[in-house]
Amino acid sequence: MDNATKRQLKKQDQFVALTDAGVHWADQHRQTAIVSGIIAVVAIIAIVSTYSLYQSRSAAAATQFGTAMQTYQTPLATASQPIPPGIQTFPNAKARAAAANSQFQQVADHYGLTQSGRLAEYFVGLTYEDEGQTGPARQALEKVASSWDNGLASLGKDALADLYQQTGQNAKAIDLYNELSKGKSTTVPPDLAKLQLAELYQSQGNTDQARQILALLKDKDKDANGKPGAAAEIATQKLNPTPTAGSGPGAAQ
């Protein structure tokens, strides 16, 4: 027998050995493979089912959130005003806020994991504030302000800063505005936070600090061509307010 034939037979023996080993391994692990396959299928079904459930709940949450927003935007009308048939109204903003608050609260409670549910919590805080319930408003807005969603958290911080001002906690409001002015949120742009901070300083009589913020905005808020942005224009107007009629030189005494 020549060497070529011997090498060929050796290769055939190796192939048979490998095949036998493969068949033996498959026999030993067939049950494991079947179980693993079943687990994979179950996992896929679970993922699809969870996604479908989330989509269904998101749709329901969006519908109920829309209803709450309609309530929150319902027009106000006094008893003496003629109201067309079929048009819902509220006698005052407090009554309207109370009705909307209940609806927003339901969305937040039942659909808190959806986008509409998280946004509803923000409006729960706003409507509590409209009702004059500062304690519940603060709790709701603090929850929103701590959200992992940066855009939503920024809205919560901005509303919370406004609430702090109303309740005489200006130092806390300043801290929040400073935080927002250093961020990159699109829901509460840094320049907006700076304008609000300047207004707060102005209301406190800290005109120097207010003007310093406004001056920086005026100089820095420009596009690539040097055109002033919206914040720069507002800052300019606040730095150089237009005299009201009768307040300038030569006004009648």
Tokens of 218: 């005026």
First-to-last alpha carbon distance for the chain, in angstroms, is 131
The pLDDT assigned to 47 comes to 53
pTM of the model: 0.72
Mean pLDDT across 23-52: 54
Q: For residue 88, what pLDDT band results from cuts at 50, 70 and 90?
A: confident
Mean pLDDT across 18-47: 54
> Model confidence over 102-115: pLDDT tens digits?
999 999 999 988 88
**Cα 207 from Cα 201, distance rounded (Å):** 7
Contacts for 200 with CB less than 8 Å, ≥ 6 apart = 165, 170, 173, 174, 177
Mean pLDDT across 35-51: 53
CB 117 within 8 A of CB 63: no
**Cα 12 from Cα 31, distance rounded (Å):** 30
From 29-43, 81-95, 115-129, the region with the lowest mean pLDDT: 29-43
Residue type, 131: E
Tokens of 150: 């940066």
From 9-18, 150-159, 205-214, 235-244, the region with the lowest mean pLDDT: 9-18
Mean pLDDT across 70-84: 82
Full set of structural domains in the chain with CATH: 54-74+89-172 (1.25.40), 189-240 (no CATH)
Per-residue pLDDT at 172 exceeds 80: yes
